[in-house]
Amino acid sequence: MSRHRPLRAALTALTTAAAAIGLTVLGGGAAQAATPLPAHVFAPYFEAWTGDSPAALASQSGAKHLTMAFLQTASRGSCTAYWNGDSSMPVSSATFGSDISTIRANGGDVIPSFGGYSADNGGTEIADSCTDVASIAAAYEKVVTTYDITRIDLDVEDNSLTNTAGIDRRNKAIKQVEDWAAANGRTVQFSYTLPTTTSGLADSGLAVLRNAVSNGARIDVVNMMTFDYYDGATHEMATDTQTSATGLRGQLAQLYPSRTDAQLWSMIGIIEMIGVDDYGPAETFTLADATTVYNWAVSKGVNTLSFWALQRDNGSCAGSGAADGCSGISQSTWAFSHIFEPFTGGGSTTPANDFSVSLTPGTGSLAPGGSTTATVKTAVTSGSAQTVALKATGAPAGVTVSLSPASVTAGGSSTLTVTASASAAAGSYPVTVTGTGTGGSHSAVYTLTVTGGTGSTCTTPAWVSTAIYVGGNHVSWKGHNWNAKWWTTGEEPGTTGEWGVWQDLGAC
Protein backbone atom coordinates (compact mmCIF):
# COMPACT_ATOMS: atom_id res chain seq x y z
CA MET A 1 0.00 0.00 0.00
CA SER A 2 1.13 3.54 -0.68
CA ARG A 3 -1.18 5.42 1.67
CA HIS A 4 1.50 6.97 3.85
CA ARG A 5 4.14 7.86 1.28
CA PRO A 6 4.70 11.63 1.66
CA LEU A 7 4.10 13.28 -1.73
CA ARG A 8 5.01 16.84 -0.83
CA ALA A 9 8.33 18.18 -2.00
CA ALA A 10 9.90 18.78 1.41
CA LEU A 11 9.37 18.35 5.11
CA THR A 12 8.81 21.57 6.98
CA ALA A 13 10.26 21.81 10.48
CA LEU A 14 7.81 23.23 12.96
CA THR A 15 9.73 24.66 15.91
CA THR A 16 7.82 27.02 18.15
CA ALA A 17 8.55 28.29 21.62
CA ALA A 18 6.18 26.52 23.98
CA ALA A 19 3.72 28.82 25.62
CA ALA A 20 3.71 28.95 29.39
CA ILE A 21 0.61 26.80 29.51
CA GLY A 22 2.31 24.24 27.28
CA LEU A 23 5.28 24.01 29.61
CA THR A 24 3.07 23.33 32.59
CA VAL A 25 1.17 20.42 31.06
CA LEU A 26 3.79 18.83 28.82
CA GLY A 27 6.92 16.95 29.78
CA GLY A 28 8.29 15.29 32.88
CA GLY A 29 8.48 11.66 33.92
CA ALA A 30 6.14 11.73 36.89
CA ALA A 31 2.52 10.73 36.51
CA GLN A 32 0.39 13.50 35.02
CA ALA A 33 -3.32 14.18 35.17
CA ALA A 34 -3.79 12.89 31.64
CA THR A 35 -7.39 12.25 30.65
CA PRO A 36 -8.00 8.93 28.85
CA LEU A 37 -9.55 9.11 25.40
CA PRO A 38 -13.33 8.71 25.13
CA ALA A 39 -14.57 5.15 24.68
CA HIS A 40 -15.66 6.14 21.18
CA VAL A 41 -13.48 8.68 19.38
CA PHE A 42 -13.15 10.26 15.96
CA ALA A 43 -9.45 10.93 15.34
CA PRO A 44 -8.50 11.61 11.70
CA TYR A 45 -4.87 11.49 10.62
CA PHE A 46 -2.91 14.74 10.52
CA GLU A 47 -0.03 14.86 8.01
CA ALA A 48 2.72 16.16 10.26
CA TRP A 49 5.24 16.85 7.50
CA THR A 50 3.19 19.60 5.84
CA GLY A 51 4.04 22.49 8.17
CA ASP A 52 0.34 22.94 8.98
CA SER A 53 -0.70 23.67 12.54
CA PRO A 54 -2.59 20.71 14.01
CA ALA A 55 -4.38 22.99 16.46
CA ALA A 56 -5.52 25.31 13.67
CA LEU A 57 -6.84 22.48 11.49
CA ALA A 58 -8.52 20.80 14.46
CA SER A 59 -10.33 24.06 15.18
CA GLN A 60 -11.30 24.66 11.55
CA SER A 61 -12.50 21.12 10.88
CA GLY A 62 -14.19 20.48 14.22
CA ALA A 63 -12.12 17.31 14.72
CA LYS A 64 -11.10 17.65 18.37
CA HIS A 65 -8.88 14.54 18.37
CA LEU A 66 -6.11 13.89 15.84
CA THR A 67 -3.92 10.92 14.98
CA MET A 68 -0.56 12.54 14.23
CA ALA A 69 1.53 10.84 11.56
CA PHE A 70 4.30 9.80 11.76
CA LEU A 71 7.18 9.12 14.15
CA GLN A 72 10.15 7.19 12.75
CA THR A 73 13.93 7.10 12.92
CA ALA A 74 16.09 9.32 10.75
CA SER A 75 18.05 6.37 9.40
CA ARG A 76 18.02 2.59 9.44
CA GLY A 77 19.70 1.26 12.59
CA SER A 78 18.82 4.26 14.77
CA CYS A 79 16.86 4.03 18.04
CA THR A 80 15.84 7.71 18.17
CA ALA A 81 12.37 8.69 16.96
CA TYR A 82 11.68 11.98 15.17
CA TRP A 83 8.57 13.39 13.59
CA ASN A 84 8.70 12.31 9.93
CA GLY A 85 12.19 10.96 10.57
CA ASP A 86 13.40 14.57 10.39
CA SER A 87 16.14 15.25 12.94
CA SER A 88 15.06 18.89 13.12
CA MET A 89 11.70 17.71 14.54
CA PRO A 90 12.59 15.84 17.75
CA VAL A 91 10.15 14.55 20.33
CA SER A 92 10.12 17.68 22.50
CA SER A 93 7.74 20.36 23.72
CA ALA A 94 9.21 22.66 21.05
CA THR A 95 7.81 20.40 18.32
CA PHE A 96 4.00 20.44 18.36
CA GLY A 97 3.92 20.99 22.13
CA SER A 98 2.05 24.29 21.99
CA ASP A 99 -0.40 22.89 19.42
CA ILE A 100 -1.13 19.84 21.56
CA SER A 101 -1.72 22.05 24.60
CA THR A 102 -4.21 24.12 22.58
CA ILE A 103 -5.98 21.02 21.30
CA ARG A 104 -6.25 19.66 24.83
CA ALA A 105 -7.51 23.00 26.18
CA ASN A 106 -10.27 22.83 23.57
CA GLY A 107 -11.43 19.44 24.82
CA GLY A 108 -9.46 17.18 22.49
CA ASP A 109 -6.20 15.26 22.40
CA VAL A 110 -3.75 13.61 20.01
CA ILE A 111 -2.64 10.06 19.26
CA PRO A 112 0.99 9.99 18.06
CA SER A 113 1.50 7.29 15.43
CA PHE A 114 4.76 5.42 14.83
CA GLY A 115 5.51 3.90 11.44
CA GLY A 116 3.56 4.49 8.23
CA TYR A 117 4.28 3.22 4.75
CA SER A 118 7.49 5.16 4.13
CA ALA A 119 9.00 4.01 7.45
CA ASP A 120 7.87 0.40 6.97
CA ASN A 121 9.23 0.46 3.43
CA GLY A 122 12.51 2.17 4.29
CA GLY A 123 13.47 0.33 7.48
CA THR A 124 13.00 3.38 9.73
CA GLU A 125 9.99 2.06 11.65
CA ILE A 126 11.55 2.11 15.12
CA ALA A 127 11.12 -1.59 15.96
CA ASP A 128 12.56 -2.55 12.57
CA SER A 129 15.39 -0.04 12.88
CA CYS A 130 16.35 -0.52 16.53
CA THR A 131 17.39 -3.96 17.76
CA ASP A 132 17.23 -3.15 21.49
CA VAL A 133 13.81 -3.70 23.09
CA ALA A 134 14.55 -1.40 26.04
CA SER A 135 15.48 1.44 23.68
CA ILE A 136 12.25 0.98 21.70
CA ALA A 137 10.26 1.07 24.96
CA ALA A 138 12.18 4.19 26.03
CA ALA A 139 11.20 5.91 22.76
CA TYR A 140 7.53 5.14 23.39
CA GLU A 141 7.80 6.34 27.00
CA LYS A 142 9.45 9.58 25.88
CA VAL A 143 6.47 10.38 23.68
CA VAL A 144 4.11 9.59 26.57
CA THR A 145 5.93 11.83 29.07
CA THR A 146 6.77 14.64 26.64
CA TYR A 147 3.23 15.12 25.39
CA ASP A 148 1.34 13.51 28.28
CA ILE A 149 -0.67 11.35 25.90
CA THR A 150 -2.66 8.23 26.73
CA ARG A 151 -2.58 6.29 23.45
CA ILE A 152 0.17 5.37 20.99
CA ASP A 153 -0.69 4.08 17.54
CA LEU A 154 1.64 1.67 15.72
CA ASP A 155 1.16 1.65 11.94
CA VAL A 156 2.55 -1.65 10.63
CA GLU A 157 2.38 -2.39 6.91
CA ASP A 158 4.56 -3.26 3.92
CA ASN A 159 7.93 -4.75 4.96
CA SER A 160 7.17 -4.45 8.68
CA LEU A 161 4.49 -7.13 8.30
CA THR A 162 7.12 -9.72 7.37
CA ASN A 163 9.89 -8.60 9.73
CA THR A 164 9.31 -11.21 12.42
CA ALA A 165 12.18 -9.95 14.59
CA GLY A 166 10.79 -6.40 14.47
CA ILE A 167 7.29 -7.65 15.30
CA ASP A 168 8.58 -9.49 18.34
CA ARG A 169 10.69 -6.52 19.53
CA ARG A 170 7.75 -4.16 19.13
CA ASN A 171 5.40 -6.30 21.19
CA LYS A 172 7.99 -6.89 23.89
CA ALA A 173 8.50 -3.11 24.07
CA ILE A 174 4.72 -2.61 24.37
CA LYS A 175 4.67 -4.98 27.32
CA GLN A 176 7.54 -3.08 28.98
CA VAL A 177 5.75 0.25 28.53
CA GLU A 178 2.50 -1.13 29.90
CA ASP A 179 4.31 -2.44 32.98
CA TRP A 180 6.07 0.94 33.38
CA ALA A 181 2.77 2.80 33.03
CA ALA A 182 1.07 0.63 35.65
CA ALA A 183 3.95 1.17 38.08
CA ASN A 184 3.80 4.94 37.55
CA GLY A 185 0.03 5.42 37.69
CA ARG A 186 -0.31 6.25 34.02
CA THR A 187 -2.95 5.26 31.48
CA VAL A 188 -1.30 4.19 28.22
CA GLN A 189 -3.20 2.41 25.47
CA PHE A 190 -1.72 0.87 22.33
CA SER A 191 -3.45 0.57 18.97
CA TYR A 192 -2.25 -1.32 15.93
CA THR A 193 -3.04 0.03 12.47
CA LEU A 194 -3.00 -2.82 9.94
CA PRO A 195 -4.00 -3.41 6.29
CA THR A 196 -7.14 -5.45 5.73
CA THR A 197 -9.05 -7.43 3.15
CA THR A 198 -12.79 -7.11 2.64
CA SER A 199 -13.29 -10.07 4.98
CA GLY A 200 -10.87 -9.20 7.78
CA LEU A 201 -7.14 -9.05 8.39
CA ALA A 202 -4.80 -11.05 6.20
CA ASP A 203 -2.67 -13.63 8.00
CA SER A 204 0.30 -11.23 8.11
CA GLY A 205 -1.72 -8.80 10.20
CA LEU A 206 -3.06 -11.57 12.41
CA ALA A 207 0.53 -12.70 13.00
CA VAL A 208 1.27 -9.32 14.57
CA LEU A 209 -1.61 -9.77 17.01
CA ARG A 210 -0.76 -13.41 17.75
CA ASN A 211 2.74 -12.32 18.70
CA ALA A 212 1.33 -9.61 20.95
CA VAL A 213 -0.78 -12.20 22.77
CA SER A 214 2.22 -14.52 23.17
CA ASN A 215 4.27 -11.65 24.64
CA GLY A 216 1.54 -10.60 27.05
CA ALA A 217 1.24 -7.22 25.31
CA ARG A 218 -2.24 -5.72 25.71
CA ILE A 219 -3.59 -4.31 22.43
CA ASP A 220 -6.48 -1.97 23.08
CA VAL A 221 -7.55 -1.14 19.52
CA VAL A 222 -7.00 -2.74 16.12
CA ASN A 223 -7.41 -0.12 13.38
CA MET A 224 -8.25 -1.55 9.96
CA MET A 225 -7.22 0.37 6.83
CA THR A 226 -10.39 -0.22 4.82
CA PHE A 227 -9.03 0.96 1.46
CA ASP A 228 -6.24 0.25 -1.05
CA TYR A 229 -7.45 -3.29 -1.64
CA TYR A 230 -5.68 -3.48 -5.01
CA ASP A 231 -7.65 -6.55 -6.03
CA GLY A 232 -8.84 -5.33 -9.43
CA ALA A 233 -12.48 -5.15 -8.33
CA THR A 234 -14.87 -2.22 -8.17
CA HIS A 235 -15.76 -1.65 -4.53
CA GLU A 236 -18.74 -0.37 -2.60
CA MET A 237 -16.54 1.01 0.14
CA ALA A 238 -19.11 1.28 2.95
CA THR A 239 -20.23 -2.32 2.43
CA ASP A 240 -16.63 -3.50 2.35
CA THR A 241 -15.95 -1.68 5.61
CA GLN A 242 -18.78 -3.57 7.28
CA THR A 243 -17.74 -6.99 5.99
CA SER A 244 -14.11 -6.31 6.88
CA ALA A 245 -14.91 -5.18 10.42
CA THR A 246 -17.27 -8.10 10.94
CA GLY A 247 -14.49 -10.44 9.84
CA LEU A 248 -12.07 -8.77 12.26
CA ARG A 249 -14.55 -9.18 15.10
CA GLY A 250 -14.54 -12.94 14.44
CA GLN A 251 -10.74 -13.02 14.30
CA LEU A 252 -10.48 -11.16 17.61
CA ALA A 253 -12.89 -13.64 19.17
CA GLN A 254 -10.38 -16.40 18.37
CA LEU A 255 -7.50 -14.41 19.88
CA TYR A 256 -9.45 -13.26 22.94
CA PRO A 257 -12.02 -16.01 23.63
CA SER A 258 -13.01 -14.69 27.07
CA ARG A 259 -14.22 -11.32 25.79
CA THR A 260 -17.86 -10.48 25.20
CA ASP A 261 -19.27 -9.37 21.86
CA ALA A 262 -19.41 -5.75 23.06
CA GLN A 263 -15.80 -5.91 24.24
CA LEU A 264 -14.66 -7.26 20.88
CA TRP A 265 -16.41 -4.50 18.94
CA SER A 266 -14.89 -1.96 21.35
CA MET A 267 -11.43 -3.11 20.21
CA ILE A 268 -12.08 -2.24 16.56
CA GLY A 269 -11.05 0.95 14.80
CA ILE A 270 -11.94 1.90 11.22
CA ILE A 271 -9.74 4.05 9.00
CA GLU A 272 -11.11 5.20 5.65
CA MET A 273 -9.28 7.00 2.87
CA ILE A 274 -11.73 9.72 1.96
CA GLY A 275 -12.53 10.23 -1.70
CA VAL A 276 -10.34 8.43 -4.24
CA ASP A 277 -7.75 6.14 -2.70
CA ASP A 278 -4.33 5.17 -4.07
CA TYR A 279 -5.77 2.42 -6.26
CA GLY A 280 -8.00 4.82 -8.15
CA PRO A 281 -11.68 5.59 -8.87
CA ALA A 282 -12.75 1.94 -8.44
CA GLU A 283 -12.07 2.47 -4.72
CA THR A 284 -13.83 5.75 -3.97
CA PHE A 285 -15.18 6.48 -0.49
CA THR A 286 -18.04 8.95 -0.86
CA LEU A 287 -19.83 11.25 1.55
CA ALA A 288 -22.81 8.90 1.42
CA ASP A 289 -20.45 6.05 2.38
CA ALA A 290 -19.28 8.13 5.35
CA THR A 291 -22.83 8.49 6.65
CA THR A 292 -23.44 4.75 6.25
CA VAL A 293 -20.22 3.85 8.06
CA TYR A 294 -20.91 6.36 10.83
CA ASN A 295 -24.37 4.97 11.56
CA TRP A 296 -23.14 1.38 11.42
CA ALA A 297 -20.11 2.06 13.64
CA VAL A 298 -22.36 3.69 16.25
CA SER A 299 -24.69 0.69 16.19
CA LYS A 300 -21.81 -1.74 16.73
CA GLY A 301 -19.99 0.20 19.44
CA VAL A 302 -16.76 0.55 17.43
CA ASN A 303 -13.93 2.25 19.34
CA THR A 304 -12.35 4.58 16.79
CA LEU A 305 -13.33 6.23 13.51
CA SER A 306 -10.56 7.82 11.49
CA PHE A 307 -9.60 8.71 7.96
CA TRP A 308 -6.58 9.57 5.89
CA ALA A 309 -6.16 12.48 6.13
CA LEU A 310 -7.43 15.78 7.56
CA GLN A 311 -5.61 17.83 4.91
CA ARG A 312 -7.47 15.87 2.20
CA ASP A 313 -10.93 16.84 3.48
CA ASN A 314 -11.76 19.26 0.66
CA GLY A 315 -12.87 19.16 -2.96
CA SER A 316 -10.14 21.31 -4.53
CA CYS A 317 -9.08 18.57 -6.98
CA ALA A 318 -12.42 17.00 -7.87
CA GLY A 319 -12.02 14.51 -10.71
CA SER A 320 -8.38 13.75 -10.01
CA GLY A 321 -6.71 10.84 -8.25
CA ALA A 322 -5.38 10.44 -4.73
CA ALA A 323 -3.36 13.36 -3.39
CA ASP A 324 -2.06 14.59 -0.05
CA GLY A 325 -4.07 17.81 -0.08
CA CYS A 326 -7.51 16.93 -1.48
CA SER A 327 -9.97 14.06 -1.78
CA GLY A 328 -10.37 13.86 -5.56
CA ILE A 329 -14.17 14.19 -5.36
CA SER A 330 -16.65 17.06 -5.33
CA GLN A 331 -17.26 18.05 -1.69
CA SER A 332 -17.30 21.02 0.62
CA THR A 333 -14.29 21.59 2.88
CA TRP A 334 -14.45 19.49 6.09
CA ALA A 335 -17.52 17.58 4.84
CA PHE A 336 -16.19 14.19 5.99
CA SER A 337 -15.07 15.62 9.33
CA HIS A 338 -18.50 17.03 10.00
CA ILE A 339 -20.14 13.64 9.32
CA PHE A 340 -17.79 11.77 11.69
CA GLU A 341 -17.53 14.47 14.42
CA PRO A 342 -20.52 13.30 16.51
CA PHE A 343 -18.91 9.85 16.93
CA THR A 344 -16.69 11.11 19.75
CA GLY A 345 -18.32 10.30 23.05
CA GLY A 346 -20.65 7.66 21.66
CA GLY A 347 -22.26 9.08 18.54
CA SER A 348 -25.39 10.21 20.35
CA THR A 349 -25.81 13.13 17.96
CA THR A 350 -27.16 12.60 14.47
CA PRO A 351 -25.11 14.32 11.73
CA ALA A 352 -26.75 17.44 10.33
CA ASN A 353 -28.69 17.19 7.10
CA ASP A 354 -26.37 17.67 4.13
CA PHE A 355 -26.09 16.84 0.43
CA SER A 356 -23.70 16.79 -2.51
CA VAL A 357 -23.87 18.02 -6.11
CA SER A 358 -22.12 16.39 -9.09
CA LEU A 359 -22.27 16.53 -12.90
CA THR A 360 -22.23 13.70 -15.44
CA PRO A 361 -20.46 14.34 -17.74
CA GLY A 362 -18.39 17.15 -16.26
CA THR A 363 -17.38 18.54 -19.66
CA GLY A 364 -19.11 19.27 -22.94
CA SER A 365 -18.39 20.74 -26.38
CA LEU A 366 -20.64 22.42 -28.90
CA ALA A 367 -20.52 24.69 -31.95
CA PRO A 368 -22.50 27.95 -32.27
CA GLY A 369 -26.13 27.08 -32.95
CA GLY A 370 -25.84 23.78 -31.13
CA SER A 371 -26.76 22.48 -27.69
CA THR A 372 -25.64 19.82 -25.25
CA THR A 373 -26.82 18.40 -21.94
CA ALA A 374 -25.49 16.98 -18.71
CA THR A 375 -27.11 15.41 -15.65
CA VAL A 376 -26.94 17.22 -12.33
CA LYS A 377 -26.97 14.61 -9.57
CA THR A 378 -27.63 15.28 -5.89
CA ALA A 379 -27.22 12.86 -3.01
CA VAL A 380 -27.93 12.82 0.72
CA THR A 381 -24.56 12.79 2.51
CA SER A 382 -25.86 12.98 6.07
CA GLY A 383 -29.14 13.22 7.92
CA SER A 384 -32.33 13.44 5.90
CA ALA A 385 -33.19 14.62 2.38
CA GLN A 386 -33.89 18.31 1.91
CA THR A 387 -35.08 20.53 -0.94
CA VAL A 388 -32.19 21.77 -3.08
CA ALA A 389 -32.58 24.83 -5.32
CA LEU A 390 -30.30 24.74 -8.38
CA LYS A 391 -28.80 27.55 -10.44
CA ALA A 392 -26.03 27.86 -13.03
CA THR A 393 -23.60 30.76 -13.36
CA GLY A 394 -20.58 31.61 -15.48
CA ALA A 395 -21.99 31.11 -18.97
CA PRO A 396 -20.25 33.39 -21.54
CA ALA A 397 -22.01 35.85 -23.83
CA GLY A 398 -24.08 34.07 -26.45
CA VAL A 399 -24.56 30.95 -24.33
CA THR A 400 -27.69 30.16 -22.35
CA VAL A 401 -27.97 27.56 -19.61
CA SER A 402 -31.14 26.09 -18.14
CA LEU A 403 -31.93 23.53 -15.44
CA SER A 404 -34.98 21.29 -15.47
CA PRO A 405 -36.21 21.00 -12.83
CA ALA A 406 -34.68 23.95 -11.03
CA SER A 407 -35.40 22.41 -7.63
CA VAL A 408 -35.03 18.79 -6.50
CA THR A 409 -35.18 16.76 -3.32
CA ALA A 410 -31.66 15.63 -2.37
CA GLY A 411 -31.15 12.31 -4.08
CA GLY A 412 -32.87 13.53 -7.24
CA SER A 413 -31.48 14.71 -10.59
CA SER A 414 -31.90 17.62 -12.97
CA THR A 415 -30.95 18.16 -16.62
CA LEU A 416 -28.52 20.94 -17.49
CA THR A 417 -29.07 22.18 -21.04
CA VAL A 418 -26.49 24.44 -22.69
CA THR A 419 -27.26 26.26 -25.96
CA ALA A 420 -24.88 28.44 -27.98
CA SER A 421 -26.08 31.19 -30.31
CA ALA A 422 -24.32 32.16 -33.54
CA SER A 423 -22.51 34.97 -31.70
CA ALA A 424 -20.88 32.72 -29.10
CA ALA A 425 -17.11 33.08 -28.98
CA ALA A 426 -14.89 30.03 -29.16
CA GLY A 427 -13.09 29.05 -25.97
CA SER A 428 -13.37 27.04 -22.79
CA TYR A 429 -15.57 28.28 -19.95
CA PRO A 430 -16.36 27.02 -16.44
CA VAL A 431 -20.10 26.92 -15.73
CA THR A 432 -20.78 26.51 -12.01
CA VAL A 433 -23.90 24.64 -10.88
CA THR A 434 -24.80 25.48 -7.28
CA GLY A 435 -27.31 23.68 -5.10
CA THR A 436 -28.65 25.54 -2.07
CA GLY A 437 -30.47 23.85 0.81
CA THR A 438 -31.44 24.74 4.34
CA GLY A 439 -27.95 24.12 5.70
CA GLY A 440 -25.81 25.71 3.00
CA SER A 441 -24.66 25.36 -0.60
CA HIS A 442 -22.54 22.96 -2.65
CA SER A 443 -21.26 23.40 -6.20
CA ALA A 444 -19.89 21.45 -9.15
CA VAL A 445 -18.20 22.83 -12.26
CA TYR A 446 -19.14 21.99 -15.87
CA THR A 447 -16.35 22.79 -18.35
CA LEU A 448 -17.92 24.04 -21.57
CA THR A 449 -15.94 24.29 -24.82
CA VAL A 450 -17.37 26.37 -27.68
CA THR A 451 -15.77 25.54 -31.02
CA GLY A 452 -15.57 27.67 -34.17
CA GLY A 453 -17.43 30.73 -32.94
CA THR A 454 -17.30 34.22 -34.47
CA GLY A 455 -15.50 35.66 -31.46
CA SER A 456 -11.82 35.15 -30.64
CA THR A 457 -10.89 31.57 -31.52
CA CYS A 458 -8.63 29.38 -29.41
CA THR A 459 -7.07 26.56 -31.40
CA THR A 460 -4.83 25.34 -28.60
CA PRO A 461 -6.36 22.40 -26.69
CA ALA A 462 -8.39 23.52 -23.69
CA TRP A 463 -7.07 23.12 -20.15
CA VAL A 464 -8.40 20.00 -18.39
CA SER A 465 -8.47 20.05 -14.59
CA THR A 466 -7.47 16.39 -14.23
CA ALA A 467 -4.62 16.44 -16.77
CA ILE A 468 -0.94 16.65 -15.82
CA TYR A 469 1.10 19.38 -17.51
CA VAL A 470 4.84 19.97 -17.53
CA GLY A 471 6.95 23.02 -18.34
CA GLY A 472 6.40 24.20 -21.91
CA ASN A 473 2.90 22.75 -22.34
CA HIS A 474 0.37 25.17 -23.86
CA VAL A 475 -3.39 25.26 -23.21
CA SER A 476 -6.27 27.61 -23.88
CA TRP A 477 -8.66 28.79 -21.17
CA LYS A 478 -11.28 31.53 -21.00
CA GLY A 479 -10.22 33.04 -24.33
CA HIS A 480 -6.49 33.13 -23.54
CA ASN A 481 -3.50 30.93 -24.32
CA TRP A 482 -1.37 29.81 -21.37
CA ASN A 483 2.11 28.33 -20.90
CA ALA A 484 2.95 25.93 -18.06
CA LYS A 485 6.21 26.95 -16.40
CA TRP A 486 6.60 23.66 -14.47
CA TRP A 487 4.72 20.51 -13.50
CA THR A 488 1.11 21.13 -12.49
CA THR A 489 -2.27 19.52 -12.22
CA GLY A 490 -5.60 20.90 -11.03
CA GLU A 491 -4.42 24.55 -10.96
CA GLU A 492 -6.72 26.67 -13.13
CA PRO A 493 -5.01 29.11 -15.52
CA GLY A 494 -5.69 32.68 -14.47
CA THR A 495 -5.89 31.84 -10.76
CA THR A 496 -2.23 31.24 -9.90
CA GLY A 497 -1.03 34.85 -10.04
CA GLU A 498 1.94 36.51 -11.68
CA TRP A 499 4.45 34.19 -10.05
CA GLY A 500 2.37 31.04 -10.37
CA VAL A 501 2.69 28.10 -12.71
CA TRP A 502 0.64 29.52 -15.63
CA GLN A 503 2.02 32.28 -17.85
CA ASP A 504 -0.63 34.27 -19.73
CA LEU A 505 0.28 34.39 -23.43
CA GLY A 506 -2.58 36.73 -24.25
CA ALA A 507 -5.94 36.42 -25.97
CA CYS A 508 -6.41 33.74 -28.61
Could you tell me if residue 331 is inside a domain?
yes
Same domain, 462 and 435: no
For residue 72, list its beta bridge partners.
82
Other C-beta atoms closer than 10 Å to the C-beta of 4 total 25
Same domain, 449 and 494: no
What pLDDT score was predicted for residue 411?
87
Range of the domain at 415: 353-455
What pLDDT score was predicted for residue 35?
85
What pLDDT score was predicted for residue 16?
33
Q: Are 21 and 67 in contact (CB under 8 A)?
A: no
Q: Please, where are the H alpha helices in 90-214?
A: 97-105, 117-122, 126-129, 133-147, 164-183, 203-214
Question: 411-432 pLDDT, tens per residue?
Answer: 899 999 999 998 888 888 889 8
What pLDDT score was predicted for residue 40?
95
Could you tell me if residue 219 is inside a domain?
yes
Same domain, 232 and 357: no
What pLDDT score was predicted for residue 480?
84
344 residue type, one letter: T
How far apart, in whole angstroms, are the C-alpha atoms of residue 334 and residue 98? 23
Same domain, 329 and 362: no
User: Measured on CA atoms in the order 5, 8, 9, 13, is the torsion positive or negative?
Assistant: negative
DSSP assignment of 230-282:
-SS----HHHHHHHHHHHHHHHHHHH-TTS-HHHHHTTEEEEEE-EEETTEEE
> Pseudo-torsion of CA 139, 142, 146, 147, nearest 10°?
60
What pLDDT score was predicted for residue 347?
63
Cis peptide before 70 (omega within 30 of 0): yes
What pLDDT score was predicted for residue 508?
72
What pLDDT score was predicted for residue 9?
30
Could you tell me if residue 310 is inside a domain?
yes
Count of structural domains, the chain: 3
Could you tell me if residue 108 is inside a domain?
yes
Using CB atoms within 10 Å of the CB of residue 284, give its burial: 0 to 12 exposed, 13 to 18 middle, 19+ buried.
buried
Same domain, 471 and 443: no
CATH code for the domain of 462: 2.10.10.20
How far apart, in whole angstroms, are the C-alpha atoms of residue 157 and residue 148? 27
Same domain, 376 and 325: no
What pLDDT score was predicted for residue 23?
34
Same domain, 145 and 251: yes
Q: How far is CA 361 from CA 46, 223, 309, 319, in A?
A: 33, 37, 28, 11
Could you tell me if residue 372 is inside a domain?
yes
Last residue of a domain, one of 351, 367, 390: 351
Q: Do strands 189-195 and 151-155 pair parallel, antiparallel, or not at all (unpaired)? A: parallel
Last residue of a domain, one of 314, 334, 351: 351
Q: How far is CA 146 from CA 35, 102, 373, 452, in A?
A: 15, 15, 59, 66
DSSP assignment of 185-217:
T---EEEEEEE-BBTB--HHHHHHHHHHHHTT-
Could you tell me if residue 434 is inside a domain?
yes
CATH code for the domain of 417: 2.60.40.10
Same domain, 382 and 270: no
What pLDDT score was predicted for residue 355?
83
Could you tell me if residue 300 is inside a domain?
yes
Same domain, 133 and 155: yes
Q: Do strands 407-409 and 387-393 pair parallel, antiparallel, or not at all (unpaired)? A: antiparallel
* Whole-model pTM over 0.75: no
At 315, is the secondary structure helix, strand, or coil?
Answer: coil
Residues with pLDDT less than 70, the chain: 1-33, 347-352, 439, 453-457
Same domain, 257 and 323: yes
Same domain, 245 and 325: yes
Last residue of a domain, one of 455, 473, 497: 455
Same domain, 375 and 271: no
Could you tell me if residue 5 is inside a domain?
no
